[in-house]
Amino acid sequence: MPPGGERWRFQKGLNGSVLMKRRNPGSQTLFAVPLHCDGCVKDVSNSLYKLAGVNKVEANLKDQLVSVEGSAAPSAIVEAIQATGRDAILRGSGASNSAAVSILESFAEQPTTAGREEQARSVRGLARMVQVNPTRTLVDLTVRGVAPGTYRATIREYGDLKNGAQSTGPVWAGGDADAKGFLGVVEVGEDGRGSGFVDHPFQVWEVIGHAMVLTRQEEGAKPLENDENTVVGVIARSAGMWDNDKTVCSCTGKTLWEERKDEVDKGML
């Protein structure tokens, strides 16, 4: 049982991953989806309405956008859209300054061809956060490419990734004797995939700049180790519902779909 005596229930995601869920308040998320006709809109809408917690779906054929209201996890929404043969990119969630993201990477040391060791930066997970009221924030976490087992998700006291998980400090207390930074557990299946979706008592601004860690290691007197199944990332602000209207990167000239392909090739979820 997670800290605080809270019980979690589990259910299967579309890809067979195990989802950690609690009763969550609703929120609104916006996705870019390649839509070519009314049939595309119907296919995507029908797939999304099959998800528990989806209350409303609106699609804009001209702007290639799909808005979803409800309590379904963004990762589950992306899976449902991908099940129709289309990709999806999260463009924003919640109000301005109420959303955050953490890209979770492995800092395990890997031997090089020269026999030396270096830190690999392999993307293994992604955490999205959106604040839904003054005291609660939704956390949607997805991980893949790690060993099966029970993993603990935590927010750490520091955002220092110089030495990976080792330099992130203890679990973030947040002024709470039980430590606000304990998010719960994620069950990873035999395919190396797992997901978690919870609401937690903190505001987004409180955790910006802190690190997030997902690990099978037990919390103890010594710092966490950078083993191959521990992933870590800094929590940074992300776009609100209508904050991100970029379709072409001004730096590279690539479209958002070209950027999406590049990130997926690097391991991004």
Residue 196 Ramachandran class (φ > 0 left, ψ -120 to 50 alpha, else beta)? beta
**What pLDDT shows up at residue 263?**
56
Continuous segment of H or E residues that includes residue 207: helix 204-207
Classify residue 37 as exposed, middle or buried by CB count within 10 Å of its CB (0-12, 13-18, 19+).
exposed
Give the CA distances from residue 160 to residues 3, 157, 168, 170, 256, in Å, rounded to whole numbers and listed in that order. 25, 9, 5, 12, 30
Indicate the pTM of the whole model: 0.68
Q: Cα(107)–Cα(67) distance, rounded to whole angstroms? A: 35
CATH of domain 99-109+122-239: 2.60.40.200
Give the pLDDT of residue 196.
86
Predicted local confidence at residue 63, as pLDDT:
85
Q: Where are the domains of the chain?
A: 26-92, 99-109+122-239
What are 33-44's pLDDT values in tens digits? 889 999 999 999
- Looking at residue 156, its pLDDT comes to 95
Class of domain 26-92: alpha beta
Cα dihedral 231, 195, 59, 62 in deg (nearest 10): 30
- 3-state class (DSSP) for residue 48: helix
Q: DSSP of 75-97, one letter per residue?
A: HHHHHHHHTTT---EEEEESSTT
The C-alpha torsion from 110 through 112 and 113 to 115, rounded to 10°, is: -100
- Give the mean pLDDT per block of 10 residues along the chain (269 residues): 38 39 62 89 94 90 88 86 87 72 86 47 83 82 92 94 94 82 92 87 92 92 88 84 46 48 55
Give me the pLDDT at residue 111, please.
Answer: 52
